[in-house]
Amino acid sequence: MQFIKPGVNIDFIGKRKIAYAFSIIMIVVSIASLIIHKGPRYGIDFAGGTLIQVKFPAPVATAEIKTGLSTMGIAASTVQTFGDRDENEFLIRTDQSVMTSEGFERGVAEALKTATGSSGEIRRIEMVGPQVGQDLREKALFAMFYALLFIAIYISGRFEMKWLLSAVVAAALITAVYLLGLFQVSIPILIGAALIVTLILFWILQLKYAMGAIVALIHDVTITVGIFSLFNKEFNLSIIAALLTIIGYSLNDTIIVFDRIRENLRKFHKSALHAIINRSVNETLSRTILTSLTTLMVVAALFALGGGIIHDFAFALLVGICVGTYSSIYVASPILVAWQGRKRR
């Protein structure tokens, strides 16, 4: 199937400065939102606390639900509707980590029935301690950091045959992060500093393909997390799964383009680099758009029909796939042109 006719020649590389400006604006807005909101709005998984999902057969007021929970000594921080309003379903979140049991569930049901006059069905109760939530946050950051490092090893080995050099760099960074972690350094600051050092080392050691891929992946993750912060959406373990999925999807697109660039560098070695990269992006454009559209159709169906539980996960994938497709064309590939400019200087 040919979505785009062969021979199309859109000047993507010529528009790279506009794309850079757009990406920088999006990243600045994302970081500013995270600073203003003091980070993402962590869910129970990361912040700790208790979550109760309850469904009533008739409409009830949120104030009545809070009153019922207060009789059990539970100070509900938020009570919000879940799903459609006419379903009379609510999510109750509290910062308190309550020991949950069958007796606790019966107590909550009875307290809510007394306060609201309606017999509610307890759909689920989840409790995460504050220490567990902190451990999960740290492990999630480490998971994404290590994923990026191992991706860098693969890209450097496949496209530049520098398996050993990239592996030594990755091993040194992992060791440094581990040792600094023993001194109780803040994990987010530690990971952020490690990523900056990683990019500097790639620049010095001339691992240009790996640097292009990693910059694109950091770009995708930062903007996706920033959009979650802008919309004040909850950040939990399912969103970490979505971010890792986005990293894999975006990387797949980037590798396809890089592979075509490598082939065309051999065939058209006398041509200018920006012309070869532009040709390669155009040759893979049909495949990129078809893959993105078919994936977006599935994710859009999940977003619209999947229900409240999977809603934020699907939203993260929608944003990530769009941003990942954009970065494969306008971020990862133009890095190679920037590299050529550095060598000329």
Give the pLDDT of residue 132.
66
Q: Which domain holds residue 228?
A: 13-43+132-344
164 and 104 together in one domain: no
Q: Which residues contact 176 (CB under 8 A, 6 or more apart)?
A: 194
57 and 35 together in one domain: no
**pLDDT per residue of the chain (345 residues) written in tens, 0 to 9:** 556 666 677 788 888 889 889 999 999 999 999 899 888 888 777 777 778 888 888 888 888 888 887 877 776 567 877 777 778 888 888 776 666 556 777 888 888 888 888 888 888 887 776 666 677 777 888 888 888 888 888 888 888 888 888 888 888 888 888 777 777 777 778 788 888 888 888 888 888 888 888 899 899 999 999 999 898 888 888 888 899 899 888 888 888 888 888 888 888 877 888 888 888 888 888 888 888 889 999 999 988 887 777 888 999 999 999 999 999 888 888 888 777 655 555
Give the pLDDT of residue 6.
67
147 and 254 together in one domain: yes
Asked if residue 7 is part of any domain, the answer here is no
Asked if residue 2 is part of any domain, the answer here is no
Write out the E strands in 89-149: 89-94, 121-128
Residue ending a domain, among 109, 128, 147, is 128
142 and 248 together in one domain: yes
Asked if residue 55 is part of any domain, the answer here is yes
Asked if residue 1 is part of any domain, the answer here is no
CATH number at residue 220: 1.20.1640.10
Asked if residue 8 is part of any domain, the answer here is no
DSSP state of 307: -
Asked if residue 280 is part of any domain, the answer here is yes
How many whole angstroms separate alpha carbon 92 and alpha carbon 62?
Answer: 10
Residue ending a domain, among 61, 96, 128, is 128
DSSP state of 302: H
Asked if residue 3 is part of any domain, the answer here is no
255 and 155 together in one domain: yes
- Residue 269, helix vs strand vs coil: coil
Give the pLDDT of residue 140.
82
Residue ending a domain, among 100, 128, 156, is 128
Asked if residue 33 is part of any domain, the answer here is yes
Pairing of strands 234-235, 41-42: parallel
The sign of the torsion formed by the CA atoms of 16, 11, 258, 147 equals positive
How many whole angstroms separate alpha carbon 135 and alpha carbon 141?
Answer: 10
Closest CA to 93 of 103, 105, 84, 81: 81
Closest CA to 238 of 146, 306, 314: 314
151 and 76 together in one domain: no
35 and 54 together in one domain: no
73 and 110 together in one domain: yes
161 and 301 together in one domain: yes
199 and 99 together in one domain: no
Give the pLDDT of residue 99.
60
The sign of the torsion formed by the CA atoms of 63, 68, 72, 76 equals negative
- Written as six digits, the tokens of 259 are 């592979």
283 and 327 together in one domain: yes
CATH number at residue 111: 3.30.70.100
87 and 120 together in one domain: yes
Please give the tally of structural domains in the chain.
2
Q: Token match 């001194």: residue? A: 183
pTM above 0.75, yes or no: yes
